[in-house]
Structure 1
Amino acid sequence: MTLDPQQVLRLARQTLDIEAEALLGLKSRLGDGFTRAVSLMLAVRGRVVVMGIGKSGHVGRKIVATLASTGTPAMFVHPAEASHGDLGMIKPVDVVLAISNSGESEELNAIVPLLRRLGAPLVAMTGHLDSTLARHADVVLDSGVAKEACPLNLAPTASTTAQLALGDALAVALLDARGFKAEDFARSHPGGALGRRLLTRVSDIMRTGSEVPRVAPEASFSELMREITRKGLGASAITDVAGHPLGIFTDGDLRRLVETGRDLRALTAREVMHAEPRTIRDDVLAASAAELMERHRISVLLVVDAAGCLVGALNTHDLMQAKVI
């Protein structure tokens, strides 16, 4: 068996051309049926129940995942399992999205009469508008393609791409109609990068209590350095008696101070600190802290409460550990 690189690329490009043409065909056929399907799913009091066999079943599971993550409650029910008890998972308050390219899937069509008797609206996604499934549906979404990308015109390729794209179109239309925002998406993806950026607050990751380095303005330079060393943040806040940050002193400041040749032992914290340090509220997003630190090219940030009192501190390592950056 030999591999012809030119033939490989020719078939790959041909596949993409056929599938792109199939998707453009779908675009021109979208109409009232699609709008009605979105309206049914938007008004659903239960869930969108997606069903399909074989490759259509795999597509259905992906559509369920996309709908659920964008604000539309959804679940997948296998048609064969539905005939053996899982039909009880479907309620009249649900909307059923049945996917079958041929529209003649035996397992699916066997339960269509039961679905009709149940009273749940039935949306069919099929490539054959005269099929059994299409005739029994309340709404039909035309997912037909002129041909499959498979050279034998047998393996579901362009047809499954069309189904996937229609599923995405439904999800996006519903997302917009619901006023679904990035924050809502993050709540469905708390373990993802977006979820961490949009849900993690400064208070979730900052150092608090005795972990926060701080000294009084009158503290000697030696006291200041001991505090920085003990707390391991690479800096220390200088605060007044009420706890308001007056300044900050960092490892970088120490290096620059040493270069001046001054007698460090005679200095106080007030004399070496940077006055009016950058601060951030504890109730804002950690991503905002990262942006502030990047904008001002600083690696340590003091955290204050609504009264302006020091309640915490964080550095870039804390943000990296929390996977905010």
Structure 2
Amino acid sequence: MNPRPTPHAAIEPQPDAIVRSARAVIATEASAIAGLEPRIGDDFVHACRLILACQGRVVVTGMGKSGHVARKIAATLASTGTPAFFVHPGEASHGDLGMIQPNDVVLALSYSGETDEVLFILPMIKRQGIPLIALTGKPGSSLASQADVHLDGSITNEACPLGLAPTTSTTAALVLGDALAIALLEARGFTSDDFARSHPAGSLGRRLLLRISDVMHSGDNVPRVPPEASLTAALVEMTRKHLGMTAVVDDQGRLLGVFTDGDLRRALDDEDVNLRGATVAELMTRGPKTIGPDKLASEAAQLMEKHQINALLVVDTERRVIGALNIHDLLRARVV
């Protein structure tokens, strides 16, 4: 049996050395990224045109660390309007190659351009006439020479002091992938609404897709009283519906005003108000802020914040009260 390697003795880290090391990595990778900009030209445009003309999907592949980057690029493309997915090159030669169809485009990542698993599947890809985009750090490599278009992700040196761990090279590939995704996004006229539809569970998706009608209380759950209701009746309705306010409506259900906790406090502070004999119409706030059911829930949050209120009534085009919501409903929906 081979003896287990002896771990290196722990060395007390020197703060200055740690900071210098981290800053050197950032400077190295930042310099490499800056070096990519002048290379964005005809080849990049050609790659974008191939993808825009694609009737299928972009199949992104790569091995090792390039594979991890390829997965991220595929995910970014897919979420920004370009259908894409990742295929592991090792698995491709054992059946997954069937996932790649003639109307697809393949984007292959390999810094050396000589990764065996990637090169092994190229003849099958080329035989089907599938366009191939190569992203390598070696323009003269086997992968680059067989591609329809080559994106140059070459770097001067890795950030790893041993020059072994892919660091700067993977960052450069990732940046080029992001550049592709965003260029394609803009070329397609992809909007924030499109983005939200592919991210319905995310905070952006909720802000851009969730409507007032999705979160409001409706029907018998909406607090409402007639204008002649007593203060006691209004308070009972507010307590039953748990929204901290009640709508005051006419016999057609049209909004006349709103009675809130704030109106109650003001009435209690006013010595001229006869609390026993006053009707809710005498104490309510007229012309309250309202919102329509088709508005975005995020707009309700903005309206509440702007006017420093905690609840809104929802009305239709004829000012009939059809719903109500408060800040807690927006919090539960994770809109705010």
The TM-score bracket by the shorter chain reads over 0.9
Whether 1:306 and 2:317 are equivalent positions in the alignment is yes
Alignment coverage as a number of residue pairs: 325
Equivalent of 2:181 in 138, 149, 171: 171
Partner of 1:57: 67
Letter in 2 for 1:246: L
Instruction: Render the CA deviation track for 1:50-80: whole Å, top value 9, x for unaligned.
Output: 0100000000000011001101000100111
Q: Provide the rounded CA distance (Å) in 2 between the counterparts of 1:74 and 1:97.
A: 10
Per-residue CA deviation, residues 145-188 of structure 1 (Å, 9 max, x unaligned), is 01111111111010000000000000000000010111111111
Structure 1 residue 217: deviation in Å?
A: 0.8
**Correspondent of 2:103 among 60, 76, 93:** 93
Distance in 1 (CA, whole Å) between partners of 2:217 and 2:24 is 57
Aligned to 1:315: 326
The percentage of aligned residue pairs carrying the same residue is 58
- Please tell me whether residue 228 in structure 1 is matched to residue 247 in structure 2: no
1:205 aligns with 2:237: no
Which consecutive residues of structure 2, in runs of 5 or more, have no partner in the other structure? 1-10
- How far did residue 82 of structure 1 move? 0.6
Correspondence 1:250-269 to 2 at 5 A: 250-261=260-271, 262-269=273-280
Q: Which residue of 2 aligns with 1:181?
A: 191
- Separation in 2, partners of 1:235, 1:2: 63
- Runs (5+) with no aligned partner, structure 1: none
| Equivalent residues of 1:53, 1:79 under 8 A apart | yes
1:299 deviates by 1.1
User: Equivalents in 2 of 1:10, 1:251: separation in Å?
Assistant: 59
Contact 1:103 1:131 in 2 (8 A): yes
4+ residue runs of structure 1 moved beyond 6 angstroms?
Answer: none
Alpha-carbon offset, residue 307 of structure 1: 2.7
Compute the RMSD of aligned alpha carbons: 0.9
Instruction: State the 1:308 CA deviation.
Output: 2.1
Residue 142, structure 1, aligned to residue 152, structure 2: yes
Equivalent position SS for 1:149: coil
Separation in 1, partners of 2:168, 2:137: 11
Secondary structure of the residue aligned to 1:266 is: coil
Using the TM superposition, name which of 193-202 and 300-309 deviates more: 300-309
Offset from partner CA, 1:196-240 (integer Å, 9 cap, x none):
111110000001111111011111222111111111111110001
Once residues 318 and 49 of structure 2 are traced to their aligned partners in structure 1, the CA distance between those partners, rounded to angstroms, is 48
Match of 2:6 in 1: none
For residues 266 and 285 of structure 2, the distance between their equivalents in structure 1, rounded to whole angstroms, comes to 12
TM-score (norm 2): 0.95
Query: 1:125 — aligned with what?
Result: 135
TM-score of the pair, normalised by structure 1: 0.98
**Residue from 262, 281, 287 that aligns with 2:292:** 281
Alpha carbons 1:245, 1:277 under 8 Å: kept: no
